[in-house]
Amino acid sequence: MGMGRPSGAWSTRWLVVVLVHWLLCATERRRGAVVEASHVEFASLQSVPASVVDNRLRTGYHFQPPRNWINDPNGPMYFNGVYHLFYQYNPNGSVWGNIVWAHSVSTDLVNWIALDPAIRPSKPFDINGCWSGSATVLPGNRPAI
In this predicted structure, the answer to whether residue 17 has a pLDDT above a threshold of 80 is no
Q: Could you tell me the pLDDT band of residue 4, with boundaries at 50, 70 and 90?
A: low
Cβ atoms within 10 Å, residue 47: 16
Interval 35-68: pLDDT, tens:
555 556 555 656 666 666 666 666 666 788 878 8
Q: Considering its fold, how many domains does the chain have in total?
A: 1
Question: Considering the domain boundaries, does residue 1 fall inside one?
Answer: no
Across the beta sheet with 82-90, what order do the strands follow?
Answer: 69-79, 82-90, 100-106, 113-119
Q: What percent of the chain has pLDDT over 90?
A: 23
* 101: containing domain: 69-127
Give a yes or no: residue 142 inside a domain.
no
| Largest separation between any pair of C-alpha atoms in the chain | 52
Q: Report the 10 Å Cβ neighbour count for 11.
A: 11
Q: Taking residues 30-35, report their average pLDDT.
A: 62
- pLDDT at 2 exceeding the cut of 50: no
Q: What is the pLDDT of residue 94?
A: 81
Does the residue 117 lie in any domain? yes
**What is the pLDDT confidence band of residue 139, given thresholds at 50, 70 and 90?**
very high
129-138 tens-digit pLDDT: 888 888 889 9
Give domain status of residue 60, yes or no: no
The answer to whether 116 is a known catalytic residue is no
> Do the domain assignments include residue 73?
yes
Judge whether 91 lies within some domain. Answer: yes
Does the pLDDT at position 32 exceed 80?
no
Q: How far apart are CA 124 and CA 5, in angstroms?
A: 36
Does some domain include residue 59?
no
CB atoms within 10 A of CB 101: 23
Is 5 part of a structural domain of the chain? no
Question: How high is the pLDDT of residue 1?
Answer: 45
**Which position among 72, 108, 116, 126 bears the catalytic label?**
72
Residue range 118-138: mean pLDDT, rounded: 84
